[in-house]
Amino acid sequence: MQKTYNQKIVEDVVRLRRRIENAKLPQKISDYNLLIGTWNIRNFGNVFSEWTENTGTPKRNLRALVYISEIVRRFDILAVQEVKGDTRGIRMLLDRFLGSNWGMIISDVSAGSGGNSERLALIYDKRRVQPSGLAGEIVLAPTSAGNPQDQFARTPYIVGFKTEKEKFALLTAHIKYGGKPGERLPELMALSNFIAHEIKDRAKGDAEEVNLLVLGDFNIDQRGENPLFQAFISTGLVVPEQLLNQKTTYNTTAKYYDQIAWFLGNMDLNFNNNAGVIDFVDAVFKEYPPLEMSFRMSDHFPLWVEFITDHSSEQMARTLGVDPGNPDPFANVPD
C-alpha cells in the first residue's frame, strides 16, 4: 500500500479485499494452481491523472485504478473486455499499478460502428504464465458456395499460454448487445459453431487449442432455458455449475452477461470445482450510488475459475492402483 493513499482509499481497499475473500477466490500458490478470470471493465479508455474526483466524463481516475489493480493482481490471467481504442488507461494500470511482472496481449480496434472502437485484452502474471506463441482474431470463412459471411461486430480473440506443466488457450469475446435480445442470437450461434467445428473438432496431437477456455461478455440475460444461453452451449460448451446462479452485473435485476466455459472431455486442465464472482458494490466509491460507481469501476463483476496444476496426487493414486477421482484415494494407506 503506497503511503500517498488517503484514508478514504485505504478504507475502500480494505472493504474490497474483504469482498475478494468472501468470494472465496484462492491465493495463487506456486506449482499448485492456476487462476483465470474475465471482466468487462466499463468503457476502459483514458483516465484522469489526478487523484481528486472529477465531475466530467470520463469519471474514472487514478483512484479507480487502485481498486481495479487490487482485483487484477489476484489472477494469473484476466481477460478484459471493453478496452477502448485509447489504451492509456490499461497501460497505466500495468505500468504504474501492477509493475514489470505483468504483461498484456491486446487486439486491434474492431472497425465499424458496431465495434464501438473496442479491443480485447489479456493481462497476465509473467511469474506464473507465459504466452505460448498463439494469437489471432476469429474470422468467419466464406460459405461453401464462396459467399462472404457477416463478421462479428467485435472480433473475438484467441491467445495461447503455458506454464511449466500446462498448455492452454483462451478465447475471449464481447458479443454485440443490440436493441433486442434476439439480435444477439446470430453472433452467439456463429461463435459457438466456429469454436466447436473449427477449433475443437480440428484439435489434434499437440494443438494449442486442446485445452480451450471460452470467456468474456456474451450479453446473455439469463441462463437455463433462455434462448441466448442455449445458443451459447448448443455445440457442447459447459459453464461450471458454481457460476450458473451467479449474476454478473451490479444492478438489482439479475443478469448473466459474462461466462466462462469449456468442452467437457476436451480439457486436460484439472478444474477444482472452484469458481465464483467478485461483487464490489458498496465496497468502493461508497459515496456514489451504484450507477455512478459503475462508471468509475464497472457495471460488470469479475468471474473466476481455479485449475489445479499439481498432479502429484493423481500420479500417486495411479501408482497405488486407485481411482484418482475417489474422494479419498489414499484411505487404505496405513499410518
Show me where the domains of the chain are located. Answer: 7-311
Higher pLDDT, 332 or 128: 128
Name the H helices within the chain: 7-22, 62-72, 88-92, 185-194, 227-233, 241-244, 290-296, 312-319
Q: How far apart are CA 292 and CA 272, in angstroms?
A: 36
- Pairing state between β 212-217 and 237-238: unpaired
Q: Read out DSSP for 27-96? A: PP-TTTEEEEEEEEEEEE---BSSSS--SSSS--BHHHHHHHHHHHTT-SEEEEEEEES--HHHHHIIII
CB 240 within 8 A of CB 275: yes
Q: How far apart are CA 117 and CA 113, in angstroms?
A: 8
12 pLDDT band (50/70/90 cuts)?
A: very high
Q: How far apart are CA 84 and CA 3, in angstroms?
A: 31
Q: What percentage of the chain has pLDDT greater than the value 90?
A: 65
pLDDT at 181 over 90: no
- Mean of pLDDT values over 213-242: 94
Q: What is the average pLDDT score of the chain?
A: 89
Cell 436493441 belongs to 179
Give per-residue pLDDT as tens, 277-299.
Answer: 999 999 999 999 999 999 999 99
Choice among 31-40, 82-91, 145-154 with the minimum mean pLDDT: 145-154
Higher pLDDT, 223 or 304: 304
- Mean of pLDDT values over 103-128: 93
Query: 194, 206, 248: which is closest to 23 by C-alpha?
Result: 248
The CATH number of the domain covering residues in 7-311? 3.60.10.10
111 pLDDT band (50/70/90 cuts)?
A: confident
Q: How far apart are CA 270 and CA 287, in angstroms?
A: 42
CB 248 within 8 A of CB 277: yes
From residue 159, give the alpha-carbon distance in Å to each of 12, 125, 171, 288.
34, 15, 7, 37
Q: Read out DSSP for 22-45? A: HTTPPPP-TTTEEEEEEEEEEEE-
- Mean of pLDDT values over 154-162: 95
- Mean of pLDDT values over 17-21: 98
Higher pLDDT, 151 or 35: 35
Contacts of residues 98-107 at CB distance under 8 Å and 24 or more positions apart, as own/partner, are: 98/69, 98/72, 98/73, 98/123, 101/125, 101/126, 101/127, 102/73, 102/126, 103/131, 105/131, 105/135, 105/159, 107/137, 107/155, 107/157
Q: How far apart are CA 184 and CA 161, in angstroms?
A: 29
pLDDT at 206 over 90: no
- Pairing state between β 102-106 and 237-238: unpaired
316 pLDDT band (50/70/90 cuts)?
A: confident
How much is the pLDDT for 57? 53
How much is the pLDDT for 205? 56
How much is the pLDDT for 319? 79
Q: How far apart are CA 211 and CA 196, in angstroms?
A: 13
